Amino acid sequence: MVVMDAVRGMNTAEKLALLESLWDDLRHNEAAVPSPDWHAEALAEAQAAFAAGRASFAEWSQAKERLRRELLRP
């Protein structure tokens, strides 16, 4: 597939930027993107962990920056 050949040629930063662009595009038509059944279970587990004090939240911008630092480490 031509698209995958192009993706394989990208570096990690370019791939992450592509992922962000794809998610941004998909969120504009959320009704067309089905949510798998396991999502509800994962959300319930996350809510329970937060309620029990075993998890916390971070601002999305901070979480993205942390992921970039961890994934793009030389």
Asked if 29 and 12 sit in the same domain, the reply is yes
Nearest to 16 by CA among 60, 65, 57: 65
Asked if 46 and 61 sit in the same domain, the reply is yes
Instruction: Look at residue 32 in the predicted model and tell me its pLDDT.
Output: 87
Looking at the structure of the chain, the number of domains it has is 2
Instruction: Look at residue 30 in the predicted model and tell me its pLDDT.
Output: 82
Asked if 27 and 5 sit in the same domain, the reply is yes
Asked if 28 and 54 sit in the same domain, the reply is no
Instruction: Look at residue 73 in the predicted model and tell me its pLDDT.
Output: 79
Asked if 23 and 53 sit in the same domain, the reply is no
Asked if 43 and 15 sit in the same domain, the reply is no
Judge contact between 19 and 13, C-beta under 8 A: no
1: pLDDT confidence band, cut at 50, 70 and 90? confident
Angle ∠(50,64,14) on CA atoms, nearest 5: 145
Q: Which domain holds residue 8?
A: 1-33
Give pLDDT tens digits for 18-55: 999 999 998 888 888 888 999 999 999 999 999 999 99
- Look-up of token digits 């916390």: 56
